[in-house]
Structure 1
Amino acid sequence: MTLGQDATEAGALLDTAGLAPSTSGARLSLVGSELTTVDGPFAASKEVISYAIYDVQSKEEAVDWATRFLKAYRDLWPGWEGEVDVLKLFGPEDFPASA
């Protein structure tokens, strides 16, 4: 089974929405064969090649999916290096109720 199939069948893979600031996120990097995770905030990247949006219950769960993504790239394309930013989507809970 592929990562995309796993995420879809788990009901986790979604579409697009506005992103919250990087202070609530994490950045994962694959350099050589070493995978590292750093909590935000971090400077914005000017190069966005692709994106995936997951419906998860925690930042830790999002980092787990991102880790699986980078491991798949590492296994399928030896020598590939890149980064994944994990960011929270704004939801109704992020805005005060109207008076």
Structure 2
Amino acid sequence: MRVMVFVKATGESEKGTLPSAELLEAMGKFNEELVQAGILRDAAGLKPTSQGKRIAFDGTGRTVIDGPFVATSELVAGFWIWEVKNMDEAVAWVKRCPNPMPGPSEIEIRPFYEMSDFQ
């Protein structure tokens, strides 16, 4: 099963504070473990929402909304796409992950829809 693993944003990530060298090294090692296990399909960190835009749809109308966006805990600071056997395996890998932020943080796991879900 494919899952997207979201690193949730924090106040620090939304300020654009870059990770420490130690955290970058720890995450690099973790990502290499994911590669060696054949799980990692893609990964990236995202710039703060102050550099982003949202497009609101209402019928045929489109409205562009400039960042930053509120509700920091609902924003995404980075992601991985993994191919795992099941959700339990994804949870086990996330538990091995270094804390992605300097303080308290959260990681969310969401499965992708597969073609079999529509049959």
Report the TM-score, using the length of structure 2 for normalisation: 0.46
Identity among equivalent pairs (%) = 25
Moved over 4 A (4+): none
Instruction: Decide which structure has greater strand share.
Output: 2
Higher relative contact order (CA 8 A, sep 6+): 2
Amino acid in the other structure paired with 2:99: Y
Aligned partner of 2:42: which letter? D
Q: Distance in 1 between matches of 2:93 and 2:30?
A: 9
Larger Rg: 2
Task: Give 1:2's match in structure 2, choosing from 29, 35, 49.
Answer: 29
Paired residue for 1:62? 90
**Structure 2 unaligned blocks of 5 or more:** 1-27, 44-72
CA distance in 1, matches of 2:106, 2:31: 18
CA distance in 1, matches of 2:96, 2:30: 8
Aligned to 1:73: 99
Instruction: Indicate the residue corresponding to 1:52 in structure 2.
Output: 80
Using structure 1 for the length normalisation, give the TM-score: 0.55
Give the drift of 1:95.
Answer: 1.3
CA-atom RMSD in angstroms: 2.4
How many residue pairs get matched?
Answer: 63
Unpaired runs of at least 5, structure 1: 17-44
